[in-house]
Amino acid sequence: MGFDTGTTTFMILSTSLVMLMTPGLAFFYGGLAGKRNILGVMMQTFVSLGITTVLWIAFGYSLCFSGGEGGIIGNLDWAFLNGIPFNNPYSGANGEYPEFIFIAYQMMFAVITPTLITGAFVNRVSFKAYLIFLVAWQVFVYYPFVHMVWGGGLLAEWGVLDFAGGIVVHATAGFAALASVIYVGKRTDTKSPPNSIPLVAIGTGLLWFGWYGFNAGSELKVDAITTTAFLNTDVAASFAGVTWLIVEWIREGKPKFVGLLTGFVAGLATITPAAGFVPLWAAVLIGIAAGLLCYIAVQFKNKWGWDDALDVWGVHGMGGVFGTILLGVFASSSINGQSGLLEGNVYFFIKEVVAVIGAAAYAFIFTYVMLVLINRVTRVKVTDSEESIGLDASLHGEKAYDEGVL
C-alpha cells in the first residue's frame, strides 16, 4: 500500500516532538520544585510515559476514536487495537499515512495532559494515590473530552473547535490542578525557592521545541495551515514572554528570568486552541493577552491563597480558557474556513465560551470528588513528616544531588 512518504515522516517527527514535551515538562517542574522534591515531581511526570501507553493501547484509543458519534465517549471495538492492521491507512488524512502513527501521535497528548496537573500539588501527594489519580483522571476526564471534541462526539457535532488542546488539554488539566490544590491544602513551606533555574530553562526550551509538533502536527497533514500553526505558535510564545517580562519588571523593579520563561509557556498554552484557525496578526494579540492575563491570573491565585506551587492553573488552565475564547473572537474564514466574532459569527463565539467553561467546571468538580474517593482507598496527602523530609527521600528513597551540592 502506497503512503505519502513526506506526510508520514512529518507525522513521525511531530509525534516524537510531542513525546519530548513530557521529559521537558519534568525538567521544567523539577527545576521549579524545592531541592527535596525534584525527583518526586519528575517521577510523577515520567511514569505517565509508561502507564498512559498501557491504557491507550488497551482501551484509551478505542474509547476516544471508535464509535460514539455525537456522544460523550466511544466504544471498545478497537480495544488493544483489535481490527486495526499495521498498514491500515488513517482515513482522517485521506489515507496518506498508516493509522498507527495517528494512534501514537494522540497517545503522546494523552501522556502529557495529566502530568501538567502535577506541578500544582508538588510535594503533597503520595505516589500511590497519584497512580490511581493518573488512571482515573484519564478515563473519566481526558478520554471523554478527546472523544467529544476530536473523535466526532457531542461537542464536535455542535461545532466546537479546538485545534490542538485548549479545551481538551489545558483547560481540563488546569482546573483539575486547582481542585487538587484546594483539596490537599497548602504546603508547610510555601516559600521553597526553585532548586535550579537553569533546569527550568532547559525544560522551557524542550517544551517550546516540542510544541511545534503539538500545534503544527495537529493539522495532521502538511499544508499552508500547518505552517501557519507553526509560526503562530512561535510568535504567540515570544510576545507573551516579553509581555510577562515587562509587566513583572514594572511591578517588581527587576527583570526575572523565571517570569520570562513562564510567560513563554503561557503564550504556548494560550495559542494552542487557535493556532490553525487565526491569522498571524491575531497570534500577536493572543500572545500579548496571554502574557498579561495569565500574569494577572497568577496574582489572583496568590491573593486568594491557593497554593498552586508551579502556577498550573494560572498558566495552563487560564491560558487554555483565554485561548479558546480568543479563538472564538479571531477565527478567520480565510485561514481555515471558520469565522469568529470579528467576522460577525456570534454563535461560534458563544459555543467556544460555553464549551471551555463547561469543560473547566467538569474537570474541577470531578477531580475534587475523585480525590475524596481516592482518599478512602489510600491516603492522598503525605504526612507532615514526609513533606518535611521531602518526597524524594521519604517516598522514593533517592536524592537528586549528592550531599553538599545544593
Closest listed residue to residue 69, CA positions, set 154, 161, 158: 154
Burial class (CB in 10 A: 0-12, 13-18, 19+), 306: middle
Return the H-helix or E-strand segment holding 293. Answer: helix 280-304
Closest listed residue to residue 117, CA positions, set 34, 224, 45: 45
The pLDDT tens digits of the residues spanning 322-366 come to: 999 999 999 999 999 999 999 999 999 999 999 999 999 999 999
The stretch 180-192 carries a mean pLDDT of 90
Q: What local confidence, expressed as pLDDT, does residue 189 receive?
A: 81
How many CA atoms does the CB half-sphere of 187 hold within 13 Å? Answer: 24
Euclidean distance between CA atoms 322 and 330, whole angstroms: 12
Q: What local confidence, expressed as pLDDT, does residue 191 receive?
A: 78
Indicate if the pLDDT at residue 128 is higher than 90: yes
Q: What local confidence, expressed as pLDDT, does residue 348 receive?
A: 98
The stretch 220-230 carries a mean pLDDT of 97
Q: Which residue, chain included where needed, has cell 497568577?
A: 298
The pLDDT tens digits of the residues spanning 55-75 come to: 999 999 999 999 999 999 999
Euclidean distance between CA atoms 391 and 187, whole angstroms: 12
Euclidean distance between CA atoms 277 and 303, whole angstroms: 35
Indicate if the pLDDT at residue 53 is higher than 60: yes
Residue 261 is placed in which grid cell?
520563561
Q: What local confidence, expressed as pLDDT, does residue 131 receive?
A: 98
Euclidean distance between CA atoms 20 and 334, whole angstroms: 33
- Other Cβ atoms less than 10 A from the Cβ of 255: the count is 11
Indicate if the pLDDT at residue 316 is higher than 80: yes
Indicate if the pLDDT at residue 178 is higher than 60: yes
Q: Which domains does the chain have, with CATH numbers?
A: 5-381 (1.10.3430.10)
Q: What local confidence, expressed as pLDDT, does residue 192 receive?
A: 81
Indicate if the pLDDT at residue 101 is higher than 60: yes
Residue 263 is placed in which grid cell?
510567560
The stretch 154-173 carries a mean pLDDT of 98
b/e per residue 315-330 (b: at least 16 CB within 10 A): bbbbbbbbbbbbbbbb
Q: Is 311 left (phi over 0), alpha (psi -120 to 50) or beta?
A: left
What proportion of the chain, given as a percentage, has pLDDT over 90?
95
Indicate if the pLDDT at residue 383 is higher than 60: yes
User: What crossing angle do the helices spanning 5-32 and 197-216 adopt, rounded to 10°?
Assistant: 150
Closest listed residue to residue 363, CA positions, set 183, 181, 182, 175: 175
Indicate if the pLDDT at residue 79 is higher than 60: yes
The stretch 280-305 carries a mean pLDDT of 97
Q: Quote the distance between the C-alpha of residue 205 and its chain's center.
A: 16
b/e per residue 218-254 (b: at least 16 CB within 10 A): bbbbbeebbebbbebbbbbbbbbbbbbbbbbeeeeee
Q: What local confidence, expressed as pLDDT, does residue 404 receive?
A: 59
What mean pLDDT is reported for the chain? 96
The stretch 42-57 carries a mean pLDDT of 98
Q: What local confidence, expressed as pLDDT, does residue 93 receive?
A: 85
Q: What local confidence, expressed as pLDDT, does residue 401 receive?
A: 87
